Chain A
Amino acid sequence: AQTVTQSQPEMSVQEAETVTLSCTYDTSENNYYLFWYKQPPSRQMILVIRQEAYKQQNATENRFSVNFQKAAKSFSLKISDSQLGDTAMYFCASTFSGGYNKLIFGAGTRLAVHP
């Protein structure tokens, strides 16, 4: 069975600093998609960044970037220049063949950004 694991239940960072959230997954497939979603206190789930497994280049979206290590099945999220508005739950998620619109989520990491 495919699984997604986030081993850091909570993390905190000072404003303007950099933080990295970890995610590992388990699959025997070769084609899949990986995502990071952000859920602020408002509960609205927001897509932060996505990565296609067949692409070697790490995805980047402004202050957000990923470190995708396919062989290690690792997909970490780096947030640079952290802002107070980054305070939220962050979920790592993946889709696999046979269910590309079926997201499998990790348990989430609660990130607190302090002034």
Chain B
Amino acid sequence: KAGVTQTPRYLIKTRGQQVTLSCSPISGHRSVSWYQQTPGQGLQFLFEYFSETQRNKGNFPGRFSGRQFSNSRSEMNVSTLELGDSALYLCASSPGTGRTYEQYFGPGTRLTVT
């Protein structure tokens, strides 16, 4: 099976712009979670989507949003970018049901805000 893929891998944006990141989960996985990784705050949970619905949400401002499509692919959007949004954004997929809660991560998207 192919792993989790994320596009783009690198992105440079300017303060005030918006950005959309994409994540394709492992085939058959219905849950996609997003995480932000920064040197100062570490790894923080953004949100989880399951069957096109947001199932869990972390403590991030409303500028961070996401969605999931019927094929389980997910997108994350950040509007009005701030310098502090510079981070590695990781998505992870899991089956989403049953007793298997292992998450499999993609390679990440490195976002730099200037």
Contacts and interface: CB of A to CB of B under 8 A. Distances in A.
Contact of B105 (A44, A52, A99, A101): A44
A103 B103 contact: yes
Contact of A103 (B35, B50, B88, B99): B35
Interface of A: 33, 35, 37, 42-47, 50, 52, 91, 93, 95, 98-108
A101 B35 contact: no
Contacts of B94: 101
Which applies to chain B's interface (DSSP): helix, strand, loop or mixed? strand
A50 B42 contact: no
Interface of B: 31, 33, 35, 42-45, 48, 50, 55-56, 58, 88, 90, 92, 94, 96, 99, 101-105, 107-108
A108 B48 contact: no
